[in-house]
Amino acid sequence: TCSRCPAAPSILRRSRALRAGKRVRFAQVTVYYFARRQGFTCVPSAGGSSLGMAPRHHRARRYSLSQFAHLRQVSHRQHLRQHLRREKLRARRRELTQNGTVPSAEAAGLTLADVSDDDLDVGQVEVGDYFYLQPLPTKRRRALLRASGVRRIDAEERQELRALRLSREQCGCLCRLTCEPRTCACSQAGIQCQ
């Protein structure tokens, strides 16, 4: 450095100072609510009646971060309680049907209302560890659609979804170890061999 030249400010210090002032902070969460519709855009792992939502929301609510965290925790606990209630009902029905071999009128008459909160071990399960999207059986999806006001459930969707699931099972070509361009479906279609 030259004794007559002033010291140039460090580029590193300047970039750190600029970054320190540009932090993103969230204060609110906006939740949009959509009516439930038959989906036609997703492929459930079994059956038909896929779940979807209306193209436009019908309501929006704003929450503080702490309110939203509390609401999610309450919602997750309710879902967990319902899940445990269904599991307990299935277990009771199995007991009453002699391990599922002999149907019982008593087992068929049991409903979720017959399982009390005292029968559930909600305290034994950590909500954060449990909660993730659970696959729903076709009957439950249909019930959700009807409860949401969907009057006519398209029955053809079931066949379309079955065809999609079958087509997805056969992905890529049948080549093993090396590609045979004369017989390779990928190569013939102009796609690199999978």
Domain ranges, ordered by start, for the chain: 28-168
Helices (H) and strands (E) in the chain, counts: 7, 2
Whole-structure pTM value:
0.57
Q: Can you list the alpha helix ranges (DSSP code H) found in 97-178?
A: 105-109, 127-130, 138-147, 156-169
CB contact at 8 A, 120 and 84: yes
Which residues of the chain fall short of a pLDDT of 50? none
Q: What local confidence, expressed as pLDDT, does residue 4 receive? A: 59
Q: Beta strands of 39-165 (E only): which ranges?
A: 51-64
Contact 84, 121 (CB under 8 A): yes
Q: What's the pLDDT score for residue 78?
A: 82
pLDDT value of position 40? 78
Q: Residue 46's closest CA among 140, 159, 162, 169? A: 162
Per-residue confidence (pLDDT) for residue 9, from 0 to 100? 63
